[in-house]
Amino acid sequence: MPRDPSRNPQALAMGRFKFIHAADIHLDSPLRGLERYDGAPVEAMRGATRRAFENLVDLALSEAVDFVLLAGDLYDGDWKDYNTGLFFTHQMGRLREADIQVLMVAGNHDAASQMTKLLRLPDNVHHFSTRQPETRILDALGLAVHGQGFATRAVSEDLTRRYPQALPGLFNIGLLHTSLDGRPGHESYAPCSLEGLRSRGYDYWALGHVHQHEIVAEDPWVVFPGNIQGRHVRETGAKGCVLVRVENGRVADMDHPSLDVARWAVCRVDLTDAATLEDVYDRAEPVLRAAVATAAGRLLAVRLRLTGSCALHARLRAAPEQTINDCRALANTIGADALWVEKVLIETRGAVSESALNRDDALGGLLRAIRDLELDSQRLSSLAGEVADLSLKLPAALRVGEDDFDPTRPDALQDCLEDVKSLLLDRLLGRDEEAGRAA
């Protein structure tokens, strides 16, 4: 349903239009990591993807965009019932009333949905073929959009090889769900190269699949908008879409407005030299208040990481529930409706006294050797190779999700080293017994 050119002759003559590029909506995704405890905003978090999508539609209407691009993973696999699809068609109806086109491709999660194939879409929505690339021309805008969706959940071929060359005299957009040349934390689906994208001669590549906003290139524009709502603690920071304005057949302006209604953050509280539990809360409070200030009025889900070497380490480890619940109580005093402590990780280490380190015997030498043990990049790479086979034997539940563990990652190896150092120091200094007495 392209617009009648006579309704907007200036756009036709000037190549002027405005559009939204969004991806990875994951409607009704079952947000993970929602631990239940009194005061936990579980229902508010579970409804976040819908409210973020409503914000997307509101933005399209308020900005009077000409069309909306959805670059895959509108859904999150098969639906429990038709309510997810009905919600989507209702939102598309709002755009239809404003004569706003929607062009979309299926991503890997959409391909897993059986109900999606039966859903009747409003006539302002065009769902690109999953069999081969196709082109949608909007004459009134001087625009050609080329796209192909996922026919199956796992697509390992480079779909762009079959995309057509740019149509002369038009602004050409490629719509694609892809991992490009690979991004951390994302499966390698429909891989392709920047050189391959450029070879098509398009003006803009609207990509999806990667949940972090990224402008990959500007000549031509190759853009991941990121997802519109963070779903777990690995998806921190502002989430939204890309709003693009085209003038005279060229991208004149681009913005990344936030659409999320809840935000995730990881806050590190340094407890180095902390001696009492009051020290913990005195140091955590300003960190939490600063994090809330960055959320711009949204509900903030925070994971607290208590780190550093301190004499309090044994006590924290002996009674973690007290510390966790006191941190959550602290969050309630800062703002019960604004802040939610999703998890508290006690990652402190026992402090080694100077007198112990300065001992002129074998124990002192061993303590100093453990304290100073470090892994440089070369040793980390070598160790990662040695444990690669181990990673393949780990249960799937440990290798996926927001708390996945990959022993080949340098940061994971470094964390393991710190844990081992702490354990050795505790054993050598007899702090296990101290922790037992504190309990």
pLDDT tens, position by position, 358-377: 787 777 777 677 666 666 67
Distance, in Å, from the CA atom of 174 to the CA atom of 164, rounded to the nearest integer, reads 10
Three-state DSSP state, 232: coil
Question: How do strand 339-346 and strand 242-247 relate by DSSP bridges?
Answer: unpaired
Q: Is the domain of 67 the same as that of 132?
A: yes
H/E stretch holding 2:
none
Q: Is the domain of 213 the same as that of 276?
A: no
Distance, in Å, from the CA atom of 73 to the CA atom of 91, rounded to the nearest integer, reads 16
Q: What angle do CA 85, 90, 94 make, to 5 degrees?
A: 145
Q: Is the domain of 238 the same as that of 269?
A: no
Q: Is the domain of 246 the same as that of 313?
A: no
By mean pLDDT, which of 93-107, 256-270, 325-339 is the weakest?
325-339
Q: What are the phi and psi torsion angles at 276 (to 5°)?
A: -130, 165
| Most confident among 289-298, 315-324, 354-363, 382-391 (mean pLDDT) | 289-298
Q: Is the domain of 232 the same as that of 91?
A: yes
Domain ends where: 304, 328, 351?
Answer: 351
Nearest alpha-carbon partner for 229 in 176, 174, 293, 301: 301
Q: Is the domain of 27 the same as that of 77?
A: yes
Q: How many domains does the chain have?
A: 3
More confident residue, 390 or 1: 390
Q: What is the DSSP letter of 120?
A: P
Strands (E), 282-370: 299-307, 309-310, 339-346, 349-350
CB half-sphere exposure, 367, CA atoms < 13 A: 21
H/E stretch holding 223:
strand 221-224
Q: What angle do CA 140, 143, 146 make, to 5 degrees?
A: 135
pLDDT tens, position by position, 24-74: 999 888 665 556 666 677 777 878 999 999 999 999 999 999 999 999 888
CB half-sphere exposure, 239, CA atoms < 13 A: 34
Q: Is the domain of 43 the same as that of 166?
A: yes
DSSP class per residue in 67-115: EEEEES--S-SS-SSTHHHHHHHHHHHHHHHTT-EEEEE--HHHHT-SG
Residue 187 belongs to domain with CATH number = 3.60.21.10
Q: What is the span of the domain harbouring residue 379?
A: 360-439
Q: What are the phi and psi torsion angles at 271 (to 5°)?
A: -105, 20
Q: Is the domain of 195 the same as that of 94?
A: yes
Classify each residue of 121-141 as buried b or exposed e, where b means 16 or more C-beta atoms within 10 Å of its C-beta: ebebbbbbebeebeebebebb
